[in-house]
Every structure is written in structure tokens, then in C-alpha cells.
Chain A
Amino acid sequence: MKIRTGFVTNSSSTNFIIISKDSPTESDLLNLLGFGTESPLTVHIQELIHEIVRDMQPADAFFRESYYTSKHKTFEEFVKEHLHEKSLDRVQKARKDEKNIFCGTFRSEDPKFGCFFCCDTILIENDSIYFDATECSW
């Protein structure tokens, strides 16, 4: 067991979006990040990916149920304010192309990679998935 001896801050959370034609599977996201089954770190990133897939919501439902409705009139406004500058175009294009847009949250108090993703800036895409987690709690 590790004992945290440094300063302790309040926790933070950040949001991410995933755009894809189909609902992404855990395997799709592992592949997107570049972790194969052989990597010793895969087991740890898998824990986070499992939570991402389990907890992500369709974007409009996520927005409707979030407190961001008091700050932004539309989901697009939220994207423009919180995520990478190119994500607004991606969201608009995804709407036209009838692709799925999912949203979720990372929390800094999550162990291991949950905290890492919350406190880092990540933008990755491949042929089938666009993943924007550029919002960083720092």
C-alpha cells in the first residue's frame, strides 16, 4: 500500500468525447491507444477502458443531465468551451453523418490511469474513432 505524504488537493474532473460510427468496444479503445494484450500495462489501462465503455453516455443525454446546461445553451457550446478546437467541427460533421457521439468524465481521485487521463491532455484518432480528452484539470 502506498501512503500519500505530499499535499492533498481537492479533486477535479474533466470530460471527454468519443465519436464513432458504432458504439466502441473495450477492444476498439485498447487498439486506439496502442496497447496490445502482451503489454504489462494493458491490465491497468483496461480497468479505465472498462469504466469508459460502461459509463459513457450519448452526448445529448450527457449534456442534458450535466450541470453544464446552466452554463451553455447547447452541447456544441460545451464542446467549444471545454474540448479541443477541432472537436466542434467533428461534432457537427458527426451529426450530419449520423455518427455516434459519446461523452464521459474522468476524475482525479480515480486510481492509476483515471487520474492520469484527468490530469493530462489527450487527443487521439484512428480510422474509426475520434477521442478528445484534451480538457485537463491542471
Chain B
Amino acid sequence: MLICFGSEYFISYKNLTREKFIQASSVAENSWAEALMHRIYDCLLGNAVNVIEEYERFYAVEYSTFEEFLVKRYGITDKELDAIKKNLPKDYILVYGCMDSQGDYNTSQLMEFSDEIVESVNEILTKGEKL
């Protein structure tokens, strides 16, 4: 699940891989659309930070709970925290990324400024998770 807060975002997933993401996107093999899906995958997950791992390795001493860490380290609101918790089942990975810091400006802009595209990407992420 992709949860966007402006240019920043969190993604929760468990079984998703690049192959599953491409398969879930239902585009033709070796097509321009497939290349685009690789760009979207790289844009979202290429430089994303695993925040659960980050918390456990570096911040567990400083912040007593993971929730406190998310609020104080990433500056999210209570409402945003609720949205993350709601979409973070047990054993899922949670990653953080920022659209503005991705190498592929064009692809990040596509998602940053369209709720509809984000919705469709979420559909692909959800489908890919189930494959």
C-alpha cells in the first residue's frame, strides 16, 4: 500500500517483488509500458528506506515506540500515523521515500501530482502483493 503525504510517502508490503509488480501491472512484455513500470518501481522502491529496520538498528534506544519514532523522525501527523498503522499488517515491511529526491524526476512527478495515478499504482501494488 502506497501512502502519500505530498512528496513524501510510505509503502507497506510483504511479498512484493519487482517481477510481481510488473506482472500485476498487466502490460505487454518488452514494451514501452513495461519499461515505464520498471521506472515506477525503481522510483518508489529503489532508494526507499526500510523504517522498521532503521528504527530497530539505530533509534530504538532514543524512541521508546516505533510510532513515536515515525512521528518525530519523519514529522508525520497523528492522522498520517493512523493511515500508516491501518495499512501495516503484522510482518509487513514499511519503507519511506521522498519523490523529490528520486533520480527520475519525470516519473516521480507523474505520481506526486495525481491522486488518480497513485490510486492505480496502489491497485498494482495490492495485486502484486497477492501474486
A1 touching B33 by the CB < 8 A rule? no
Q: Closest approach, in angstroms, between the C-beta of A107 and any C-beta of chain B?
A: 14
Q: Is A38 an interface residue (CB 8 A)?
A: yes
Question: Scoring B residues 30 to 70 as 1 if CB is less than 8 Å from chain A, else 0, what string do you get?
Answer: 11111010000000000000000000000000000000000
- Tell me if B109 is interfacial: C-beta within 8 Å of chain A: yes
A49 to chain B, nearest CB (A): 12
Binds A, one of B11-19, B21-29, B80-88, B89-97: B21-29
For B32, list chain A residues within 8 Å (CB). Answer: 32-34, 122, 124
Say yes or no: A41 contacts B25, CB within 8 Å.
Answer: yes
Most buried by B among A4, A41, A120, A124: A41
Could you tell me the dominant secondary structure of chain B's interface residues?
helix
Quote the shortest CB–CB distance from B20 to chain A (angstroms): 14
Closest residue of chain B to A35 (Cβ to Cβ) is B33
Number of A-B contacts defined by CB within 8 Å: 75
Chain A residues closer than 8 Å to B100, beta-carbon distance:
6
Known: A36-B26, A38-B26, A39-B33. A119 touches B120 (CB 8 A): no
Pairwise interchain contact B120-A112, C-beta atoms closer than 8 A: no
Asked if A78 lies at the interface with its beta carbon under 8 angstroms from chain B, I say no
Known: A2-B114, A44-B116, A120-B106. A35 touches B27 (CB 8 A): yes
* Distance, CA A44 to CA B36, complexed state (A): 13
Q: Which residues of B contact A111 (CB under 8 A)?
A: 113-114
Is the CB of A61 closer than 8 A to any CB of chain B? no
Could you list which residues of chain B lie within 8 angstroms of chain A, going by C-beta atoms?
Answer: 6-7, 25-28, 30-34, 36, 100, 105-107, 109-110, 112-117, 120-121, 123-124, 127
Q: Which residues of A contact B (CB under 8 A)?
A: 1-6, 31-36, 38-41, 43-45, 111-113, 115-116, 119-120, 122, 124
